[in-house]
């Protein structure tokens, strides 16, 4: 069931969240200080402050500072989509090779941003530079899956703010004002990205040998098969003709209004969709075409005048999905 893949979605979202707060500054008297930001739990930084052997060093070297932490991950049923549906995209490098991926699964990532200051004015400056952008959400564009260049707007929602004033202990212990901002980022989890041109066997060859001894065996006959699409995968459905008359479920010679768009390839295999019934168009004579009905386990049914005949092309065969009950084109040589 499971296979190895790593899209780095959680990592990319964490980095994008931290980048939002990476350029905040505060002003103290005649100096401007850039507030350092690091990833890690708040208690780690508080413990480092308390255990520092040099309590008399300049406060500006230690406080103010900020830290953020990824604290939780929950499924979001309100944004649920059909996860079994897949869509295809072009390769972002050459624009030619097609990849496909299942629809993403919505998850909410929880973050905590801690603002640690000695002076209350510093904490107010930092907080005021953050709050106006969250009403209560701020959208960040994140390239979630680099393999297919899948960019999505991730809403980051400010849930609540708490304040704590650690001003206990003896005279030498430092005061720390701690503001904690809690956020939720509504991201998406993608499964493995597969190449639509590589995950299906495009041709299989079986060779039968004759002779009783391995050294003297020779090739007798070889069979070659390749998968063929029985429905449209590209989304580009071309109508190649319309019925000129009603037909019954047994008719094999039918008349169309205009056969100019019907081109039978040299292989003689032109398959098409007629109202959900797959047909094989064998030949045409003017506007009269000869067909075989009910191909690849589809049912032959009656059709009405004006019904469309839609093409199934080689481009659809390239995008055959794994597990499809596609037909085979057998040739002996």
Residues 38 and 186 placed together within one structural domain of the fold: yes
User: Domain with 160 in it: what CATH number?
Assistant: 3.30.2000.40
Residue 195, pLDDT > 80, answer no
Average pLDDT along the chain: 78
Domain membership of residue 323 (yes or no) is no
Beta-strand pair 65-75/37-39: parallel
Residue 9, pLDDT > 70, answer yes
Question: Across residues 113-126, what is the average pLDDT?
Answer: 90
Question: Which of 140, 175, 195 delimits the end of a domain?
Answer: 195
Say which range, 83-87, 180-184, 218-222, has the weakest mean pLDDT: 218-222
Q: Which two tokens stand for residue 251?
A: 């008719």
Question: Which of 195, 224, 248 delimits the end of a domain?
Answer: 195
What is the tens place of the pLDDT at every residue in 164-187?
876 555 545 556 788 999 999 999
What is the tens place of the pLDDT at every residue in 133-143?
998 899 999 99
Domain membership of residue 110 (yes or no) is yes
Residues 74 and 157 placed together within one structural domain of the fold: yes
Domain membership of residue 253 (yes or no) is yes
Domain membership of residue 134 (yes or no) is yes
Top mean pLDDT of 45-59, 61-75, 233-247 is at 61-75
The half-sphere exposure of 35 on its side-chain side, counting CA atoms within 13 A, is 30
What is the band of 55 on the pLDDT scale with cuts at 50, 70, 90?
A: very low
217 versus 100: the higher-pLDDT residue is 100
319 versus 111: the higher-pLDDT residue is 111
Residue 41, pLDDT > 70, answer yes
Say which range, 134-143, 232-241, 246-255, has the weakest mean pLDDT: 232-241
Residues 62 and 126 placed together within one structural domain of the fold: yes
Top mean pLDDT of 108-112, 217-221, 309-313 is at 108-112
Residues 174 and 273 placed together within one structural domain of the fold: no
Residues 6+ apart with CB under 8 A from 253: 288, 289, 290, 291
Residues 96 and 33 placed together within one structural domain of the fold: yes
The half-sphere exposure of 5 on its side-chain side, counting CA atoms within 13 A, is 15
What is the tally of structural domains in the chain?
A: 2
Enclosing domain of residue 98:
9-195
239 versus 154: the higher-pLDDT residue is 154
Residues 174 and 62 placed together within one structural domain of the fold: yes
Question: Which of 195, 224, 256 delimits the end of a domain?
Answer: 195
Q: Which two tokens stand for residue 222?
A: 């070889």
Residues 181 and 278 placed together within one structural domain of the fold: no
């Amino acid at each position: 069931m499971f296979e190895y893949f790593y899209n780095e979605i959680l990592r990319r979202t964490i980095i994008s969240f931290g980048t939002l707060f990476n350029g905040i500054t505060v002003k103290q008297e005649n100096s401007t200080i850039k507030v350092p930001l690091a990833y890690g739990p708040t208690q780690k930084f508080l413990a480092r402050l308390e255990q520092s052997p040099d309590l008399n060093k300049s406060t500006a070297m230690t406080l103010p500072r900020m830290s953020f932490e990824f604290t939780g991950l929950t499924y979001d049923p309100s944004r649920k989509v059909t996860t079994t549906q897949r869509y295809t995209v072009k390769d972002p490098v050459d624009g030619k090779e097609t990849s496909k991926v299942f629809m993403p699964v919505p998850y909410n990532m929880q973050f905590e941003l801690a603002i640690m200051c000695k002076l209350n004015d510093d904490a107010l400056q930092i907080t005021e530079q953050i709050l106006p952008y969250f009403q209560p959400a701020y959208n960040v564009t994140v390239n979630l899956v680099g393999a297919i260049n899948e960019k999505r707007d991730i809403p980051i929602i400010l849930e609540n703010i708490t304040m704590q004033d650690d001003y206990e202990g003896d005279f030498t212990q430092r005061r720390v004002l701690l503001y904690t901002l809690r956020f939720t980022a509504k991201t998406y989890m993608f499964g493995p990205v597969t190449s639509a041109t590589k995950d299906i066997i495009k041709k299989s060859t079986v060779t039968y040998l004759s002779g009783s001894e391995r050294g003297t065996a020779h090739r007798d006959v070889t069979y070659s098969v390749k998968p063929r699409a029985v429905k449209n995968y590209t989304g580009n459905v071309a109508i190649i003709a319309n019925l000129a008359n009603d037909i019954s479920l047994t008719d094999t010679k039918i008349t169309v209004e205009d056969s100019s768009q019907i081109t039978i390839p040299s292989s003689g295999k032109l398959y098409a969709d007629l109202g959900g019934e797959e047909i094989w168009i064998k030949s045409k004579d003017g506007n009269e075409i000869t067909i075989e009905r009910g191909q690849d386990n589809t049912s032959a049914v009656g059709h009405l005048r004006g019904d469309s005949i839609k093409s199934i092309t080689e481009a659809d065969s390239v995008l055959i999905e794994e597990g499809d009950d596609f037909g085979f084109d057998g040739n002996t040589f």
